[in-house]
Chain A
């Protein structure tokens, strides 16, 4: 009995939204455009990745964990020029990959979807890096185990999705392999390698980083999700 009422109100809603959209201007149309939205998200993730890479590298360089050729050290960037772009690209890919995989698996990630939670996640990630660089551990195994536990804890606290875990582990392994190759080819080196050519905590850091970037990416994708929904509704 109330259906026609509902219909009518919806109609009204749709029309009012349309009129609203006319007023909304270019910003929204950019957001709602799928490609440009993707580009924007990618750019944001990239910049976040670059920023984090710079900051975290600074942490590592302070403690002489990583050694880059000395002439670069005095430059503003504490590491070689290629590191931040690489990290940025990787984080952009990861951040886009996560919501995409969520969409394909059909399990939208509903756990703690808030910016405050994302911020907490980033803070914990920086904290893990901080610990790896600054805290003096008795031996490397202890350090690695602690960091591994922290990373798993990060996942459990902020993600809890199987896809997230799988992707995190996969990318962490790939990244570790890539680093091994880089160090093997002498691009840079670690002061005291204990796992072939690298430090054994590196996979944990990678894992935590993947989880963090995925978290950010999902949160960003939430905007697009909403806009797209609205758009389909208007269409």
Chain B
């Protein structure tokens, strides 16, 4: 044993134990896992919530120093982004200008023309301001942020925004900071409007940028009733110099004193910007998320055969997500802070970790035998997949480790997260998901039990377990019996589908609620933590109320206490709000007279205070009213990003300018007066904003409707299937016979439990079925007929069993007391041979058919009502024991008839020793070929021998029964063609089965009055030189294969030999021919030949097996062969290329069957296995008996309702494949 195998075994054993553990203690393990998830996620609480709004932090101006890069441990309230110098300092000079007193001779333009004109002198003042002290002189040039060139894509801004030098922004930029241009501008508003973008614009516009206050506060319009113009001059500084700024402030204040201004100037606000997500970045992000969801959807879709599909899918997603959270949490715990954008790498992490393992686990557990205990199933499933899981994980870890050595920080971080995520994912899979799975499977079994119980309520409790052991055959049973097929196998399939929808709805609503609650909580937290949010408001409320509670005398008026709400939560504001701006340090600087600017003439002193201009608290931090994208967009024009950085906003410098009407008239442009003095529309300004709002709303609504329409159209285009119409529409089951889905996964074989049909005393030799009846024949020569007619009915309840003994054993049929629950009635018809059985305690195993015996019996045919469709409803109310007893009826018939005397029955004769070698079933006629060379026709319903041919002497090795012809191949190589002739005295055929069903004519039922005769039409004496081994008939052709290496094709009608196909170098062992005239043959040489039946040419010739080809089946696309070497080979039918082969266990049966295009069933030792033909995967193995004591399945018959009948020693085993059943009803 190699190391690898040892390792493999150890791993599998460990997984097995682990599976047992998980399934044994589900609740403690789930609790433990949840606890560990929560523990690992705990560090995540410290991470900031996702949100893109800027974060603020306020410090005092006076003791401000540039924060160092090193994080300070002790400063708890200092945010971690507040490190290092800011990108820039922003100094705004807020100018409020008005013409006063207002004169009626003034035109509306005067409101803003001369105030705006003042900006140029102010600009000059600021530009030329020089402060010099002991450390040298500083001018604005040396302090301001020097910019170089606009972002390449911004040509149209070039004329407006400064391109070189200081970043100094003011309304003067509209006129290139040149007074002359301003003066010669005929229409100021037009100039301003010119640069506005067309359409709606929500973020910072150029106007906002230049004016520094939101558009509607500027007062630059014709309808300005307050006649105050507000604008700012924004200076962006790269370094902070308190003295220079102080002197500038003092200078401006001196020039333009603001009398009633009480703005505070002792706080600077640092604004930190999160990473900006633009639409351009959003699109790839959204795309990756869409792909992620598609991936999750397609993955979880594969979960099947479990109690609640959605529950498991949810568990799978939870597993992956919480493993990611755990990984982030763990990494944070150990000091690694995530620097990558979490939202961006998240989809990739999910994809890397993947949902595959979870699905593999589910599939593996589900495909374990259902009859095992849940614990064992889980353990087995785990240990089956243990090796592949470990291998996959090792590979992924290796790949990620390789990635780690790329030494690229981003990739390294990704890999670190992925590694931790993988490991925690593994942990969660092993503990969380496995346990959830075990709970689910346990629930499924419980549900099954519950579903079965009601039907069997009136019956004695069935034995547990899916296997239904039947009575021991040998002792003659006094009571007739019927085997009732397990009906839940049909019903199981319909119910869950409906229920699943209900479950789905219920669950999604649950999910919706959870999502809604989560969103509400999230929004709540965001609002709470927002600087201007509820927390400060609450804090203010508290601070307002607490003095009341404490001192009783509220010292603070409420409006002062509430003030900080609008002021960014400055705790000290209430104290200092009354303090007048302290000018004490400033006059010194000023008095020293270090102004290089030169007092440029006598500035017009403001007239005595006019109450027009007022300064309020809202002016203090006017920038707050701007869009939060204001600063990022300003900087982005110069290709400076503010993402993850911060800027410091210095206290604003207020400037009040009063202009005289005289001045205003002087600065007029000649064209200004031409504007008609418009009637002042009172509401227009408001209306304008309102209109914008409405526009936005209307547009949004329209867009929403359009989106819905578009989605609807897309849906119609992509899914033009009309679900639910035309009955079997084309959903996933449209290609009905494929259990394999569109996505190539074919799991849905669930709950396969074999039903054992017992009755034979020796091994079963032949099996035949025509879909309605099933005939079996054992070595002892008994033929039993099993009827499962009822499965075609919508109710699917009627299941009768017939047995017919060779010789007189009577046809017994009745309800079985401990029969399996059938919801309708167990209808059994026929003779109650109770009395006869009592009279003959010893059953004759082998008895000569004795047709004359039946003449002693009363003619019961009028009692047989073969029209099963209409009968059950009328009897539904009456069944005494869940079934019918025709005993009374029959007994009456017996009364009329003279009961036969026991002595009339002949003793078993020795002539009966010939065994049945071949058997065929058509309609209700059984053709049996005996070793003695006799061909017999039996009535399958009544058990009477209808006709017999004893012409041949050589044993019949193979039979074919097609239409009304029977072909018999004999041991001596001769081939006999018989015709079945029916003379109908009544002239009508009775049809079994509902007449409307199916497109196929139902098989005719030969009524017992018919005289059936068997005529030998032709006998080909030397069809083959050696014994004929195989005989197949289809599509009007009869194909024989013989030991003499040849295959012959005959036409059925005239029994004329069409071709002799030579090509094998050994005896023919297997032949397949179907309706499409494809002929495949396999020989002892291990070769498989494909022939064209129309031309007799060989299409392909392949060697696949070492030893005989034992069985051959074709599907539309491939040929499946099995050989003595226990190999199953799958060949491409058109090219003859071997697709793959499956190595089976040694000594498994050679029987093959194809249930559908992609589902193969093979017989093994005491089991049947289902294979997925597309992939060669073993889907499921169904064990036929408790003890798999080496009884191989030799015969395997696929019935057309997707049931499989196979022999299992002396029993017949009926296995339903539920998934394929769905399409039939």
Q: A residues bordering B, Cβ < 8 Å?
A: 1-20, 23-25, 27-28, 51, 54-56, 58-59, 61-62, 70, 73-74, 78, 106, 108, 110, 113-116, 118-120, 122-124, 126-127, 130-131, 134-138, 142, 146, 149, 153, 222-223, 226-227, 229-230, 232-233
Contact = CB atoms under 8 A, between A and B. Distances in A.
A49 B667 CA distance: 62
Nearest to B1205: A2
Given A106-B1137, A142-B408, 16 more contacts: A1-B918, A1-B958, A2-B1195, A2-B1198, A4-B1033, A9-B771, A25-B730, A27-B730, A70-B153, A108-B1139, A113-B1174, A123-B295, A123-B347, A131-B410, A146-B408, A226-B735
B351 A1 contact: no
A6 B1074 contact: yes
A5 B1073 contact: no
16 contacts: A1-B1195, A2-B767, A2-B1195, A2-B1196, A7-B1075, A10-B1075, A16-B999, A23-B726, A56-B284, A58-B283, A108-B1139, A115-B294, A116-B301, A116-B743, A119-B294, A230-B1116
Contact of B1174 (A110, A135, A138): A110
Interface string B284-319: 100110011011001101100000000000000000
A13 B737 contact: yes
A116 B1074 contact: no
Q: How large is the interface on B (under 10, 10 to 19, 20 to 34, 35 or more residues)?
A: 35 or more
A134 B1175 CA distance: 39
A55 B399 CA distance: 27
Contacts of A8: 770-771, 1000, 1200
A233 to B, nearest CB: 5
A110 B768 contact: no
Contacts of A28: 730, 734
Nearest to A59: B284
Interface stretch (B506-514, B705-713, B959-967): B959-967
B155 interface: yes
Which 5 A-B residue pairings sit nearest by Cβ, starting from the closest?
A9-B1200, A116-B298, A119-B295, A15-B999, A7-B1034
A104 B720 CA distance: 33
B744 A114 contact: yes
B1076 interface: yes
B1040 to A, nearest CB: 12
A123 B291 contact: yes
A135 B410 contact: yes
A19 B728 CA distance: 11
Contact of B768 (A5, A78, A119): A5
A16 B720 contact: no
A114 B406 contact: no
A10 B1137 CA distance: 25
A152 to B, nearest CB: 11
Contacts of A20: 728, 734, 736
Most buried by A among B155, B301, B402, B999: B999
B1222 interface: no
B1034 A138 contact: no
B1033 A13 contact: no
A9 B743 contact: no
A153 B922 contact: no
A136 B280 contact: no
Contacts of A62: 280-281
Most buried by B among A1, A18, A51: A1
Nearest to A225: B1117
B1074 A55 contact: no
B1219 to A, nearest CB: 15
Contacts of B408: 135-138, 142, 146
B744 A4 contact: no
B1116 A229 contact: yes
Given A1-B766, A1-B768, A3-B1033, A135 B298 contact: no
Interface in B1098-1141: 1116-1117, 1132, 1135, 1137, 1139-1140
Nearest to B921: A5
Contact of B1000 (A15, A108, A113): A15
Interface string B398-412: 010011001111110
Contacts of B347: 123
Contacts of B736: 17, 20
Most buried by B among A2, A56, A78, A137: A2
B743 A4 contact: no
Interface of B: 152-153, 155, 280-281, 283-284, 287-288, 291-292, 294-295, 298-299, 301-302, 344, 347-348, 351, 354-355, 399, 402-403, 406-411, 720-722, 726-730, 734-738, 742-745, 766-771, 918-922, 958-962, 998-1000, 1032-1035, 1072-1076, 1116-1117, 1132, 1135, 1137, 1139-1140, 1157, 1174-1175, 1195-1200
Nearest to B777: A1
A2 B294 contact: no
Contacts of A135: 408, 410-411
B1135 A106 contact: yes
B299 to A, nearest CB: 4
B63 to A, nearest CB: 38
A130 B449 CA distance: 53
A130 B411 contact: no
A24 B1139 CA distance: 32
A116 B1200 CA distance: 33
A207 B1200 CA distance: 48
B920 A4 contact: yes
Nearest to B1113: A6
Contacts of B727: 23
Contacts of B1116: 229-230, 232-233
A16 B284 contact: no
Nearest to B727: A23
A134 B280 CA distance: 13
B919 A123 contact: no
A114 B355 CA distance: 13
Contacts of A222: 744
Contact of A114 (B298, B730, B959, B999): B298
Contact of B302 (A13, A61, A116, A119): A116
A233 B298 contact: no
A124 B962 contact: no
B195 to A, nearest CB: 16
B152 A70 contact: yes
B960 A126 contact: no
B411 A27 contact: no
Most buried by B among A15, A18, A25, A149: A25
Contacts of B280: 58, 61-62, 78
Nearest to A111: B1175
Contacts of A54: 283
Contacts of B999: 12, 15-16, 18-19
A124 B349 CA distance: 10
B1215 to A, nearest CB: 15
A14 B919 CA distance: 26
B287 A70 contact: no
B1195 A123 contact: no
A118 B961 CA distance: 49
Contacts of B742: 115, 223
Nearest to B1175: A110
A96 B409 CA distance: 39
Contacts of A114: 298, 302, 743-745
B351 A124 contact: yes
Given A13-B1200, A126-B288, A138-B407, A5 B771 contact: yes
A51 B286 CA distance: 12
Most buried by B among A51, A110, A223: A110
Given A59-B284, A153-B399, A12 B1000 contact: yes
B153 A12 contact: no
B287 A55 contact: yes
A133 to B, nearest CB: 9
A20 B299 CA distance: 30
A4 B1197 contact: no
Contact of B734 (A12, A24, A108, A134): A24
